[in-house]
Every structure is written in C-alpha cells, then in structure tokens.
A and B are shown apart, each in its own frame.
Chain A
Amino acid sequence: MSEIKTELTKEQFEIVGKNIEKMESISRPSLTFWQEAWRRIRSNRAAFFSLILLIIYVLLAIFAPMLSKYGFDQQDAYAMKQGLSLEHWLGTDSLGRDLWVRVWMGARVSLTIGLLAAVINSVIGTILGGFCGYYGGKLDMVVMRIIDVIYGIPSLIVCILVMVVLGSGVQSLIIAMVLVGWTGTCRFTRGEVYRLKEQEFVLAAQVMGEPVFTIILREIIPNIMGLLITNLTMAIPGAIFQEAFLSYIGLGISPPQASWGVLAKEGTKMLQVAPHILYVPAFFICTTVLALNQLGNGLRDAFDPRLRGTE
C-alpha cells in the first residue's frame, strides 16, 4: 500500500488520440448466438449431463444391437420371462427375446419418431403460428379454424388411413403424427407472438423497416425460444407416447419391430407375472424424457436473449 503513489503527475499519462474502434469494442470475446448457447449449456451441469446421456443412448441404439450375440427377434421357448442376469442383461420378454437388444432396437424407433415428429411439428407450427399471431386478421382466423377442424377429426381415422395408404411403419407413423400434430405448436406460438408483437422492441424493429419475416425470425422467435424449447422437449415424449398409444390400440409398427411404447405396453400385461418387462422400457422412457427436460431447461436459459452476457 505504501508504494502506491498518491499523487498523479502528468508524466504518468500520454495522449493516445481518439480511437473509435476501441471505444466501441467489448472486452469479452464476441460470441455468436450458438456459441453463447453452447458455452452456457456446458456450464449447466444437469443439462450437460443430460446431453451426454442422450448421446450415450443414441450410440447404444446404433451399436448395441450390432454387438449383442442375440438377434432382436430371436425367440427362446426355454428362456421366457427371465429376470436380469449375466446371460440376458435386462432379462427376456414373454417370447424369450433378449430385452437388452430389444430395448435398443426400440430406441431406434422411438427416438426417430419422437425427434422427427416433434421437430417437423415444431418447425411447421412455429412458422405458421408466428405469421398468424403477427398478422392476425383473416389469415389467423382461417388457420385457427383449420386447426379446429383438424382437432375435431378423430386422429385414429387419419392414422388408419395413412397406414392403409402407405403401409404400417415408422414413416407412416411420423406422417400421421405430423398431419394432426403441428396444430399444437401453432396455437401455442400464435398465442405467444400475439402477446409479444405489441412490445417496444418489435415496434422498434418495425420503425427501422425490418421485413416481417425478419421481425418474426430475429426478434420475436428468439424471445419465445425458451418456451418453444420447453414445448419441444415435451413434444418429443409426446410423440413417443402417441406412438405407444397407437400401439396400445393396435395401430403401431408391425411386429417383430418394437418401440419403447410397444415394449412397455407388453410389459403392462406382465406386471403381475414378470414386472421387469414393464420396468425396463419404462426406465428408458423415463430417463430419456428426464434428460430431454433438463436439456430443455438448459437450452431455455441458453437461448434467452435477455440472459445473454449476464452471469
């Protein structure tokens, strides 16, 4: 302390001139939207762990069936409903099939359907909902009535018809789900946009003459990204559940293929006999959704423009 000079002298300063660039520069490294999000995700331990878990699940879904000595449809009349063991890591189902392999084969189906259906729904729904909410008026009215009609059509009819036309399979399921599913996100986004469009920053953008598309995409959507992401993380399990429900009433994918929903459904029949047949797929459904939720929460914070640069 004592060494600090208390008096300032002219010699200590020099004239550097005016440097506009430096005056405007930001001392923190400049990050793009996604870089920033990634940085924040990494610092959120739960979200980061969830991301790792999901990646592990995806890798297992890809490789586990290849590496196992059992085929996913390989039956064994003398190894039915066995519990967890070294021979069958997750036990066997009612046809003596190895559940470890079946779970990961099921993961392929469920994750594909969940991800694709949810993402396609969200993209269509967000764009359409954005325009509806922003413009309002006739466009909004017409789209909302179309949504009412789609809601009213028994989705089973749509599913059965798609299955009949395209045959049962993953693609048909996704198409059927998208046909009836985009409406939810659309309504939701529309409500949010409707709420936001009166706010000052939108007004400012309008005054500055930004085109409508840019306003929606650059100003409004990022502001509701948090809710959209939360919505999306719910939409993925939603799609997984819907597939499971369709399987429950017999409209899912054809055997011997199985999804997690199909496995869980088979499990409910076995609850009193061999509960692990239910618990195993239920565990993976649960943890996947949990991970998606945590990731969603992390992303929600990460994408929030108002939280950028804080901390």
Chain B
Amino acid sequence: MKHKRFMALGLATLLSLSVVGCSTPNTTVEDSGSTSASTSGSTAQTVSGEKIFRYSNKADIATIDPNKINCVPDATIGYHVYDGLYRSVQGNLQPAVAESHTVSEDGLVYTFTLRQDAKWSDGEPVTAQDFEYGMKRLCDPAAACSMSYLGVVFKNGAAVTAGEVPVDELGVKAIDDYTLEITLEHPADYFLSMLSMSQFMPVRQDIVEQFGGEFGGGADKQVYNGPFVVTQFGEGRLVMEKNPNYYDADSIKLDGVEVLTVADGTTAVSMFNAGDLDLAEVPSDLAPQYEGQTLSYYDGSNDYAALNHNNEYLANKNFRLALNYAINREEYNLLSHNGLYAENLRYVLPQVRGVEGEYGTEYPLEFFPLQGDMDKAQEYLTVAMEELGVSDPSEISLKLVVSDSDASKKEAEVVVNQWKNNLGIDVQINMVPYATRNAMLVPNSTEFDIIMTGWVPDYSDPYSYLELWYSTSSYNYLNYKSEAYDSYLDASKTTTGKERMDNLFNAEKVLLEDGALVPLQLREVQYMVSDRVENLGAYFIGLNYDYMYTDIVA
C-alpha cells in the first residue's frame, strides 16, 4: 500500500511547479461540503457497456464548463472529458492537442503546432481558435470565471481580468487553424504544466453562444474533445462514456465512468463493500476497520491553527511558542484522526518539489517535537506571562473559531483540551457555518483570535504556501509582520535553483521560530479500490483520481 502511495506522490511531484488544477479550499481544506470522496465499482445499470468505473463524490459536480470549474472533483471530470494542449499523464507531461511547440529566446512567446486529427464530439475539428476563445473567456471579466487569476500568466492577463484592457489584447492568438501563439507576462517555467488544467481547455464559441449562461450546465449543453464524453449530468450523478472521436481512443480501456453523489462517507464505504462502487474514500472513523486494505495520498492541505497577531496575547512571540510546544501532535493525530494523517512538525508540505527532488528530503526539518515539549512550553509561558503582566494562565481567554464539519470540530476539541491541560489557558470554541468562517479569513479580522484552517497549494512549490504570510499579502489573515520573512521571500523572487530554495527554507524557519501559527497535520486521504480496477492514479495537486487509462479486469 505504502509503495503505491509514494509512487503516486513521486509521479505527482515530477510535475515541476505544476499549477495543475483548481484546488479551492472550499473543496479540499474542509471535510464538509464538497470534498470528493470517491468510490467506484460494480456494474452499472445506467451505462451501456461492460467496463464501467464507478466512484462517488460527497457533493454534486457543480459545472462542466471548463473555464468555470473551481474545485478538485470537478477538475477531475474536466481532465477526463477535455483535451488541452498538453496533458500530464501519471505525472508526465505529454503532448495532447499540441504536437510540438517552440519558445522564443526570452521565454515569453510560445508557438504551438496543433494536431489536425483532433475532433470535438460533434465531429468538428479542434482548432487554435477554440483555444484562443477558451483562454480569452477565462480572463474575460464578463464571463466572471472564479479561477480567472490563473490567467495572469498571459500577457495583459491581470489587466484584462480587471477590465482595464479589452479582452482582445490578451496574449493569446490563433495564427491559423492549427497554430497558436501565446505571449506571457513574464517567463514562467511552469507554464506548460498549467496547460493541462481544465481552465486552459479549448472552448467552442458557437456552443457558448448557443447556450449562454447555461453552457456546461448539462450533458448536452457542451461538446467534448477528451477521452470521454458526458452523457448525463444532474440528479446526483454524472455519467461519461468513451469518446469514439478521440484520436487516442484505442488506448482508452474503460467504456464509461459513473460518478455518483454520496454525501455520507459511511454510506459510500458500505456501497463499496456491496460492490456498488469501485473506489471509496474511508472516513477516518472507519479507517481502523479497513487497515491494510486502504491506499492513501496527500491531498496537499496542511492544516493549522492560525493565530491572530492583533490579539494582545497572541502578539507575544513567547506565548505563541508556548501554544506550539504545548501540542502533543502525536496524541492529537491519534485522537482526531485515528493516527491516519501525518503530523506536521513544520509548515510546508514536505512532498512539494524542491530544487530537484522533494523539498522535505532536501530541506529536512522537525521544528516542533512530535510529542510537544511541556517543559519548554511552560518556560515560554512563564516568560510570556511576565511580559504580558498576567499572573495566572487562566486569566488568558481566547476565542477559537472552527467551521462546522465533524473533522474540524474534533480537531478543535483536541487542541483546546491540550492547551487547557498543558498550559492552563482557557480557549472558547465558537463553531460557525463554513461560509461564515471563510468570510473571517481576511487581514485585520476582529472575529477570531485563533481559527482552524489550512491551505491547498496551487502548484508544487513551497512558495505556494509561504506567499500567504508576506506582510502585505491579501491573504495574510494572521496579520503576521516580519521583516526577515519578507526579505527572504523577496530574495526568492530574484534568485533561482538552490539559492531560491534556500531563501524559501529560511523564510519557513523564520515563520516557525516566530511561532506565527500552530501547524497540526498533513491530510492523507485513505481510499479503497476494488481489485478489478487496474492502473488508477491519485495526485495531490489539481485532480484527485486519474482513471483515463484505467482498465477493469475480471
């Protein structure tokens, strides 16, 4: 099991700086709502053919409009029904609709030559104009795509999205039917890997104009050019069938895929056991029962208790360190997740890409002891209380905000209990709806002292985690201000290779030395796959399961 997991991770990390996928915290940082739990399997009565792969998501697929996809489960569908310029298959970048490309010397202009046998599911050829239209639509303010910030990589991308410059001036241009020229705002090595994301897929202008706002809102309100086509979308299920028009259809083994909405994780596991699904994510409550039968992958999120540095107590560095050392992360993990997640003793997910290999291997760090250090915590607390003029720890009262999912509720209870036992401080939990909690994640919020949250990276690089806490970042809800931290991040922008990575590592260390937040865990999704399924991949960025080349045997 473990081997498979690491293989999947390794493959995933091969995607250097891959900005793959549209991971929104909405779907992956929380166990509530829309996280995808997948289960698959069994013969489906609703799809013709024999090799049907069945799995489930916790929430309905929101849209199949490629530009508007904004969460991992939806991006997984997009990955399988659309075909972009390039495609990352099992972690390797492969030509897809683009046969080849050239890059100008300054690294700004990419010219793609498209294959001429690519067809839409309605028989029309896939042309450079379709790509141009799709990418312009992503940035068009009138189309209002939630992931439009990905388009800033294009020349004028940010300006177009902000409505300052007409869409026509975006750096994407079809030279002829099969030649596409893309101009970037600045050189970006990771640009090619972005092209595999759903948001950069070709889009047919005539179809968009035909359906208007409802484009991508139903199986027949869109055309497809990927290995599968959607034949049913809505009413709690999405059904895909193999696309006979796909140029590489011979390599596709599955006849179809059925994606069900099963909100209850326990139900999904039961359905897996009954053979109704081929793949099921196992809730951590149930995981011990299935020990040895599960695979797992990191979904990229690093959960932490964010501290609001505007609070009078939390502004004190020694107090923050006391909070950090008082957490026994091993016990925390055992209590809240049956020990199935990985304890996070640093800030950045170690599996992201470093200079050449994994960041965690190149820059190992166990900043906070696995079981905490109660003596150190007490020392820091004593100093902090002196500095704060507090005589008894119980005088310190803090408000911890947590969203309403079962998992985060449990996490909060464990953390608060450890602080109470180990430091004697009183932290009140305030449970709020998910949307309410999200609205608090802005700089200078006065709604929380501590808030349970996490981050899912957009691309495989420590910077994706670290950029949040730059003092002027619009994400800096910690209100963390550190000159040293800022200067390391600044330095990383002007350096490359190992030097750049050193800067990022130093920034991470500064963050931890300041105890800016309390890192807790790295999420490791446990899932089961039926024995008859072969060649299924799982990734931690951009999509969760890759079943493009999956086969069903027996």
Contacts and interface: CB of A to CB of B under 8 A. Distances in A.
Interface string B416-436: 110010000000111111101
Contacts of B406: 266, 269
B432 A75 contact: no
A251 interface: yes
B404 interface: yes
Contacts of A80: 334-335
Contact of B413 (A167, A252, A255, A270): A255
A148 B433 CA distance: 27
Contacts of A271: 266
Given A256-B417, A271-B266, A273-B289, A95 B430 contact: no
Contact of A75 (B288, B402, B417): B417
Interface string B322-356: 00000000010011100000000000000000000
Interface residues of A, number: 28
Contacts of B429: 254-256
A160 interface: yes
Contacts of A77: 331, 334-335
Interface string A255-270: 1100000000010111
B412 interface: yes
Contact of B285 (A73, A164, A273): A273
A256 B412 CA distance: 9
B4 to A, nearest CB: 25
B221 interface: no
Interface string B102-137: 000000000000000000000000000000000000
B430 A164 contact: no
B5 interface: no
A101 to B, nearest CB: 14
Contacts of B403: 250
Nearest to B412: A255
B286 A272 contact: yes
Contact of B414 (A95, A250, A273): A95
Contacts of B428: 254
B409 interface: yes
A307 interface: no
Contact of B430 (A96, A167, A250, A270): A167
A268 B32 CA distance: 16
A163 interface: yes
Interface string A86-102: 00000000111000000
Interface of A: 73-75, 77, 80, 94-96, 160, 163-164, 167-168, 249-256, 266, 268-273
Interface of B: 32, 266, 283, 285-286, 288-289, 331, 334-336, 402-406, 409-410, 412-414, 416-417, 420, 428-434, 436
Given A256-B417, A266-B406, 7 more contacts: A73-B413, A75-B414, A80-B334, A94-B410, A254-B430, A256-B429, A273-B289
